[in-house]
Structure 1
Amino acid sequence: MVMDGKKLEYKGEKALKELEKLTANAAEVQEEVLKMILTQNKGTEYLNKYMAGVESKSQVPHFKRCVPVTTYKDVRPYIQRIANGDNSNLITSQPVTEMLCSSGTSAGEPKLMPSIEEDLDRRTFLYNLIMPIINQYVGGLDEGKAMFLYFVKAEMSTPCGLPARTVLTSFYKSQHFKNRSHDPYNDFTSPDQTILCYDSNQSMYCQLLAGLVFRHQVLRLGAVFASAFLRAISFLERNWRKLCQDIRTGKLDHAMITDAQCQSAMYSSVLLRPQPLVADEIESICSSKSWKGIVRRLWPKAKYIEAVITGSMSQYIPSLEYYSDGKLPLVCTMYASSECYFGVNLKPFCKPADVSFTLLPNMGHFEFIPLGESATWSIDLDEEEEEEEEVPPNKLVDLVHVRVGCYYELVVTTFAGLYRYRIGDVLQVTGFHNQAPQFRFICRRNVVLSVDNDKTNEEDLHKSITAAKKLLEPYNALLVEYTSCADASTVPGHYVIYWEIAYNNGLVDEAFAIDPTVLQECCAAVEERLDYTYRRCRTLDKSVGPLEIRIVEAGTFESLMDFFINQGASINQYKTPRCIKSKAALKLLNSNVKASSFSSRDPCWNP
């Protein structure tokens, strides 16, 4: 039932049949996965601490009774030893082939996660499910091209020479990705060399140029995250004239593109001849006063936009709908992390608010920390600031025993040596597909604002801002992006929300046109939607000051993204942090503030 190696390379109808088989036998598959992990790794230093001398038939129950729930700080010493060249069986019996870097934007510095060779097979198995699932809803996608904007990040090396890179960089550089050309659904507009270019600006330029040249063949659009797709639209706004010139002449702007591999790939497969008529069409579209619906006008045959739009990425849904004129479905296909790939969306054309992921029981062994039947769980502070509450091993719930409607924190045991590891994601069970549960992603546990006893999680912050931004609509304005911080420089401290506002004719310097009293009402609207503890602190305890909204210059959040990328974040995995703690990042934001307002009244408080 549990596959490895080439057995994982199912495609088409075979992939769907395998999906049904796995989910119909989820309990059996999970048991087999855990047995396999324990059998392979029973001689490791880590497992020996808890399972030395345990007979094979007793391994699984003993594991669930005795192996503790862990966080990164527990596994970090072992990972550091591997990175330094200790090749003994520390956490896995399989050779660690690389270290995968987390995005590092929601919890401080990037974490390093061990990866073994067969992990790529598991990721490929999940990727191979995507198109068979989508083909059940949309046909003919093998008759055109996909304009997916993918990027790699420059690699590092550990002291012993292991590559340290993001999980997406690892996949794009693997033979699994390079050997995809025989699959008609993997006909991308972007040449591989442009995806593998480490200069994100040159990569973006070439990939957009290729997408424009093949615009009438493009049936699918997307990026890994919604934020990356919108960054591409912003890049296009600034550079469409240069791109049109290159298409018109059939020659690259060599001042812009200096990478020899990009140049060679573009001339051999994209810029085959001058195309003045194509350039004229694109110029006519891009010179329009309003860019509403620009995506549909530039790529008229596109059937959907694919990107992660759950969690904090849901903030970008209005912008995606604006640029697509609300006519292109937003498709979110999979759920994955640096630690493990988890599952797929079996209804990819559902509404964004209804996206749920079916966890695939062969990806790893999944357990869950119960958080209750309502969204009122306690969200701890960042693990670097406050000790994680210890979770008893017997408190965890198996994959097939979760309950619909309840909230859980995901815990995973992997083939690469993570044991009962807290991913930090809060999920809600929405249903089952056969035996396999389906989950809605809620938030990351450690993304919080806190001044006193208040603890605001990412979902509550997002809901409150979603309500407040509606007050901008009469001004034909759109909230482009936001982040926040807890400002302790005032007494009492208060929440600061940074907003970048656009108007329907594009990003312009018109934010001052919004009446200051409206911004005050926006502040109050945010506060009214925050939780009981916050409103009590504001109104009764007076331990939290009035919330402040600071309006920043157009382009500030792109500068913030550049800042984090320069600090080591990946353009593929970047997500705007919803709570900023970096002093340098806050300095950048504050240097671009051009207006601010405070809440003019206390929020309602009901004991």
Structure 2
Amino acid sequence: MLEKKATRSTRVDGVSGEAVIEEFERVTRDAANVQRETLRRILAENGGVEYLRGLGLAGATDPATFRARVPLATHADLEPYIDRIADGDASPVLTAKPATSISLRSVSPPAAACCSLTSIENVADHGGDHLTAGACSSGTTQGKRKYLLFNEELVKSTMQIYRISYAFRNREFPVENGKALQFIYSSRETRTKGGLTATTATTNVYRSEEFKATMRDIQSQCCSPDEVIFGPDFAQSLYCHLLAGLLAAGDVQIVSATFAHSVVLAFQTFERAWEDLCADIRRGEVSPSRVTSPAVRRAMAALLAAPNPGLADEVARKCAALSNWYGVIPALWPNARYVYGIMTGSMEHYVKKLRHYAGGLPLVAAEYGASEGWVGANVEPGTPPERATFTVLPDIAYFEFIPLKPVAGDGGYAEAEPVGLTEVAAGELYEVVMTTFADQ
């Protein structure tokens, strides 16, 4: 039955959430030194690759030499090297560690990589100064597909930011031994000429064993089986996510998706499909008209197990009591603490509808990043998405910021020389430049 349970603070991977936060505070308070060490590690590991050898670094790992010798590069500059790797060149072209797969991403317009540095905070609750950025872009772009390298270092940095963000969320909205109703989906995979798997960055992450382990550690284990996440048809997977979520309704403490629009789409679908979902629960079998994939049907059959008319009646009763579907999430998932996903940039458009479905549940904006890598974490999860800021993680990549000054009359921006992470000015607009362990 759909009963509300008490919750308390949990641990992150056997370590207290407060310890994770303390380590975060340590590196952000010492951002200048941490940035120098991060660049040193990147260059020490990758200094012998073909791309950097041709730039005359000669073993130098300091920021001044790096900025003087290594020019700013766009994807177009790196594309010939990435294409060689995709075609099977196994030599250290861009990275010392081999690419394990290729991430596909649409090319974004130039302004999409900008962020406005809205404040440098000194918050008593956080114990120190933090560089925070208000994001202008959620990383959602459209256009021509491009290849990006993906390796184990990107998986590590992704898990790092997941754990940090969770520690702050769990301090504000504690969960305990719960599951997450996650509307996540894999994308179709292809093979490059050299045999590397090419798919979206999120699919590369979902396929990693580290992802599953981290989701368990941070109380965000998905209700749905892998067959649903990696199903061949989006509509069938969405339907099964909803069904799996209803079957585990009492255990769900987080409702999430990568992007806010995915949660909105899921509940727009629920409005049309709830009677079919109730019928499936009642008879203990997924509708053959809704789900045709044999693998997905088998996985869902294991979850359904037996008819459950009591749950079906309860879901139907709660749906009938709703007014225009307001508050459907807390009505059906009474132990949910918050709704989580990227809600900034172009995703802010969906916040109003998402708030309608969430009723009084908090909406928490997810991390700030892109396919190339992560930039910052939301360390104030209680702040509404419209006012969310993101604290830059100085040990996740080496960051530079190109100042953008508005040009009077033409609506464009004039660029200046890049500045370092600790050299930015509050209230100014910058384009983010990243040097990562994947050499993006």
Instruction: Indicate the TM-score class for this superposition, using the shorter chain for normalisation.
Output: 0.7 to 0.9
Shift of 1:10: 6.6
Distance in 1 between residues matched to 2:81 and 2:215, nearest whole Å: 39
SS at match of 2:396: coil
Matched-pair contact (CA < 8 Å) for 2:60–2:66? no
The verdict on how the C-alpha distance between 1:417 and 1:131 changes in structure 2, with shifts beyond 3 A counting, is closer
1:163 aligned to which of 173, 197, 202: 197
Q: State the partner residue of 1:76.
A: 79
Distance in 2 between residues matched to 1:184 and 1:103, nearest whole Å: 30
1:385-409 CA deviation, whole Å, 9 max, x = no partner? Answer: xxxx8x67xx111011111111111
Shift of 1:379: 4.2
Shift of 1:40: 2.0
Alignment of 1:340-355 (within 5 A): 340-355=373-388
Shift of 1:322: 1.9
AA paired with 1:56? Answer: A
Alignment of 1:245-260 (within 5 A): 245-260=279-294
1:365 aligned to which of 398, 403, 419: 398
Matched-pair contact (CA < 8 Å) for 2:228–2:296? yes
Q: State the partner residue of 1:19.
A: 24
Q: State the partner residue of 1:64.
A: 67
Matched-pair contact (CA < 8 Å) for 1:103–1:166? no
Matched-pair contact (CA < 8 Å) for 2:220–2:254? no
Q: State the partner residue of 2:131.
A: none
Q: State the partner residue of 2:92.
A: 89
Distance in 2 between residues matched to 1:33 and 1:161, nearest whole Å: 31
Alignment of 1:132-531 (within 5 A): 132-139=167-174, 141-180=175-214, 182-183=216-217, 185-268=219-302, 270-287=303-320, 290-325=324-359, 327-372=360-405, 378-379=411-412, 395-418=417-440
Shift of 1:367: 0.3
The verdict on how the C-alpha distance between 1:24 and 1:169 changes in structure 2, with shifts beyond 3 A counting, is same
1:63-89 CA deviation, whole Å, 9 max, x = no partner? Answer: 211321121111111111111112222
- The alignment's C-alpha RMSD in Å is 2.5
Distance in 2 between residues matched to 1:39 and 1:292, nearest whole Å: 54
- TM-score relative to the length of structure 1: 0.61
Matched-pair contact (CA < 8 Å) for 1:366–1:398? yes
Q: State the partner residue of 1:116.
A: 151
Q: State the partner residue of 1:497.
A: none
Question: Is 2:165 aligned against 1:130?
Answer: yes
SS at match of 1:342: strand
AA paired with 1:344? Answer: A
Matched-pair contact (CA < 8 Å) for 2:50–2:93? yes
AA paired with 1:404? Answer: A
The verdict on how the C-alpha distance between 1:320 and 1:204 changes in structure 2, with shifts beyond 3 A counting, is same
Matched-pair contact (CA < 8 Å) for 1:9–1:121? no
Shift of 1:9: 9.9
Distance in 2 between residues matched to 1:352 and 1:156, nearest whole Å: 35
Matched-pair contact (CA < 8 Å) for 1:37–1:415? yes
AA paired with 2:74? Answer: T
Matched-pair contact (CA < 8 Å) for 2:232–2:293? no
SS at match of 2:93: coil
Matched-pair contact (CA < 8 Å) for 1:84–1:158? yes
SS at match of 2:222: coil
| Structure 2: runs of 5+ lacking an equivalent | 1-12, 108-139
Shift of 1:303: 1.9
Matched-pair contact (CA < 8 Å) for 1:221–1:302? yes
The structure with the larger Rg is: 1
1:29 aligned to which of 8, 20, 34: 34
AA paired with 2:45? Answer: Q
- TM-score relative to the length of structure 2: 0.83
Shift of 1:130: 2.4
The alignment-based identity, stated in percent, is: 36
Distance in 2 between residues matched to 1:282 and 1:376, nearest whole Å: 57
The verdict on how the C-alpha distance between 1:27 and 1:375 changes in structure 2, with shifts beyond 3 A counting, is farther
SS at match of 1:291: coil
Shift of 1:376: 9.3
Shift of 1:229: 0.5
Shift of 1:201: 1.4
Q: State the partner residue of 2:119.
A: none
AA paired with 1:68? Answer: P
Matched-pair contact (CA < 8 Å) for 2:18–2:167? yes
AA paired with 2:389? Answer: S
Q: State the partner residue of 2:48.
A: 43
Larger RCO (CA under 8 A, 6+ residues apart): 2
The verdict on how the C-alpha distance between 1:106 and 1:118 changes in structure 2, with shifts beyond 3 A counting, is closer
Distance in 2 between residues matched to 1:184 and 1:362, nearest whole Å: 21
Shift of 1:28: 1.0
Matched-pair contact (CA < 8 Å) for 2:44–2:59? no
